[in-house]
Structure 1
Amino acid sequence: MGWTASDIPDLHGKRAIVTGANSGIGYHTALQLARHGAAVVLACRSAERGRHALGKMTAAVPDGDITLASLDLADLASVREFAKRHGDGPLDLLVNNAGVMALPHRTTADGFEMQFGTNHLGHFALTGLLLPALRSAAAPRVVTVTSMAAWMGRPRFDDPNWERGYRKWGAYGWSKLANLVFAKELDRRYAGLTSNAAHPGYAATNLQQAGPKMAGSALQDRLNAAANALVAQSAAMGALPTLYAATAPAAEGGACYGPRLLGYRGTPAKAIMPGQAGRPETGRRLWTLSEDLTGVAYDPA
């Protein structure tokens, strides 16, 4: 049968933060963490969608310790404010889940390409600012959610923000490769902190609709909605690799977990990662670039 949410251990006494917890993979990740006893912070950009998610979650887990907090990963000022409010340790678990996919060219509040800025740089900054709280926990974990699109990603150190020749899927692949590189490099740098990655396979979430809506492509929007209905697994199933990486005693630092059936569907298993994701030199280069761009310098190991 494989690993399911019923295998999550008791999490009472643990504190967790999940970014993008208002829908999709993030919602189901936060829901199961709360169901198993963790105190969970829903870190959401949209106050309206966040309140809706909080209402649903508290109805499902009436005795849960669940709070809502504002976080816009596309604005480093918001990231810093969130970390200031929620950085008191110990923090047992950080799930870097929020993301955007295949958008028309946009930039963040700080001028970064939106996908690289949100999916990687925002989470890099958040993790660094919360690192003291994480390191004060007994056995902290950081799970960074990536995608199978990491396989089409190519390192772009000479033009990380796509100032030349923007391609929406190329930019998405680069951001998701950066998630993997970051997860492995974080695990290498800090003994006592488990950093790993997860991907949901093909799961039905709002992510597939955001890009076409922004581009005004009604046809692509309808096609993606049909594919979600006919082909994709549920968001609840898509959240299982993240939950495994976050809670399973056997989950390994530096590993990536995804659905076992060709990486698209099913219960969690260790996923094969692109070779360049694990190269220490790539990790060091991305780390230096990310510190320079965000202005967030991590504490010494």
Structure 2
Amino acid sequence: MTNWTTHDIPDQTGKLAIITGATGGLGLETALVLAGKGAEVVLAARNPSKGAEAERLIRERHAGANARFDLLDLGDLASVEAFAGRHLAQDRPIDILINNAGIMALPKRQTTADGFEMQLGTNYLSHFALTGRLLPLLSAARARVVQLSSIAHRGGRIRLDDLNYQNGYGAWPVYQQSKLAMLMFALELQRRSGTQGWGLTSVAAHPGFARTDLIANGHGDSQPGLFALGARLIEGVLSHSAVDGALPILMAATLPDATPGAYYGPVGFQEMKGPPGRAVIKPQARDADVARRLWTESERLTGVCYG
């Protein structure tokens, strides 16, 4: 389906969509489209000022759009619990959950409020906890759940003996691990939904090489690192816009006949850019034994058990 565009998205009126990291970049582009298609969109992020600006932009672009900011700091499990608690109290089924927010390749090891390595905690563990806490509302709507992975998963390895990289921290291997974990989470969530009767359609997506502020939020200019340096050199040739990068996410979230456990991304050269379609899942992401062990460890670390 290489000619798929936003025009192919069905009407989303009546649906509730939650998007993490939706006040900028890919998350905001995704929110703009879903709001324009009639969905009620929750912009789950940590900066109220950026949230207000994102709300304004969405309403400016789509008159009458239903979009609202809700505070969520993925660097703090207490914030994740509070966010989920507010939604559980409202008891409104959630039709679409897009776990989009992320940071990339921090040059020095940092930790979250809970002591997790920052990339693992922000990109993966908090999304694992968020999905688990929202599971009753997701199951009630037979929701579509989208995990954001990356072409970086190809070189990733789940370091089960030291997930938090307390030893031998490396910016890029840690990022690769977090994005491999997200893809494995999508696949394992679908397996468990099938056996437990949760009714979810769990999928994953990646944006290819999209021009966002992710690199700036990671390496930065002072310590660019090999990836960021290479990224700048090839950006003009192999990258595409955040608007185009959001297309695989939107496809994963709205395709009526999406295959459970599918992975979506650009179908151009090395999946860096191009129209959206099915992406390649590398063998390590399909390791069901590692996925089960990662799930068990994630429940232990976050304190969130899916039951």
* TM-score between both structures, scaled by the size of structure 1: 0.94
* Match of residue 288 from structure 1: 296
Deviations 1:141-176 (A, max 9, x none): 100010000011101000000000100000000000
* Match of residue 205 from structure 2: 198
Unmatched 5+ stretches in structure 2: none
Q: Distance in 2 between matches of 1:115 and 1:3?
A: 32
Note the C-alpha offset of 1:283: 1.5
* Match of residue 164 from structure 1: 167
The one-letter code matched in structure 1 to 2:181 is A
Give the secondary structure class of the aligned counterpart of 2:267.
strand
Q: Distance in 2 between matches of 1:255 and 1:219?
A: 32
The one-letter code matched in structure 2 to 1:245 is A
Note the C-alpha offset of 1:282: 1.5
The one-letter code matched in structure 2 to 1:141 is R
Give the secondary structure class of the aligned counterpart of 2:253.
helix
* Match of residue 216 from structure 1: 222
Q: Distance in 2 between matches of 1:114 and 1:175?
A: 10
The number of aligned residues is 297
* Match of residue 253 from structure 2: 246
Q: How does 1:257-272 map to 2 (within 5 A)?
A: 257-262=264-269, 263-272=271-280
Q: Distance in 1 between matches of 2:249 and 2:28?
A: 12
Q: RMSD value over aligned CA atoms? A: 1.7
Note the C-alpha offset of 1:23: 1.1
Asked if structure 2 preserves the Cα contact closer than 8 Å seen for 1:5 and 1:32, the reply is yes
Give the secondary structure class of the aligned counterpart of 2:265.
strand
The one-letter code matched in structure 1 to 2:117 is E
The one-letter code matched in structure 1 to 2:298 is S
Q: Distance in 2 between matches of 1:9 and 1:224?
A: 35
Deviations 1:43-99 (A, max 9, x none): 011222222212111111121110101101110000001101123231101000000
Q: Kindly tell me: are residues 207 and 187 of structure 1, through their superposed partners in 2, closer, same or farther at Cα, counting changes over 3 Å?
A: same
* Match of residue 276 from structure 1: 284
* Match of residue 61 from structure 1: 62
Deviates more, 1:289-298 or 1:225-234: 225-234
Asked if structure 2 preserves the Cα contact closer than 8 Å seen for 1:89 and 1:132, the reply is no
* Match of residue 120 from structure 1: 124
Give the secondary structure class of the aligned counterpart of 2:41.
strand
Q: Kindly tell me: are residues 279 and 225 of structure 1, through their superposed partners in 2, closer, same or farther at Cα, counting changes over 3 Å?
A: closer
1:6 maps to 2:14: no
Note the C-alpha offset of 1:193: 0.6
* Match of residue 39 from structure 1: 40
Asked if structure 1 preserves the Cα contact closer than 8 Å seen for 2:238 and 2:272, the reply is no
Deviates more, 1:274-283 or 1:17-26: 274-283
1:78 maps to 2:85: no
Note the C-alpha offset of 1:251: 1.4
Percent identity over the alignment? Answer: 51
Deviates more, 1:45-54 or 1:150-159: 45-54
Note the C-alpha offset of 1:279: 2.0
Asked if structure 2 preserves the Cα contact closer than 8 Å seen for 1:71 and 1:79, the reply is yes
Asked if structure 2 preserves the Cα contact closer than 8 Å seen for 1:209 and 1:224, the reply is no
* Match of residue 151 from structure 1: 154
Asked if structure 1 preserves the Cα contact closer than 8 Å seen for 2:117 and 2:164, the reply is yes
Note the C-alpha offset of 1:132: 0.4
Unmatched 5+ stretches in structure 1: none
The one-letter code matched in structure 2 to 1:94 is L
* TM-score between both structures, scaled by the size of structure 2: 0.92
Give the secondary structure class of the aligned counterpart of 2:202.
strand
The one-letter code matched in structure 1 to 2:17 is A
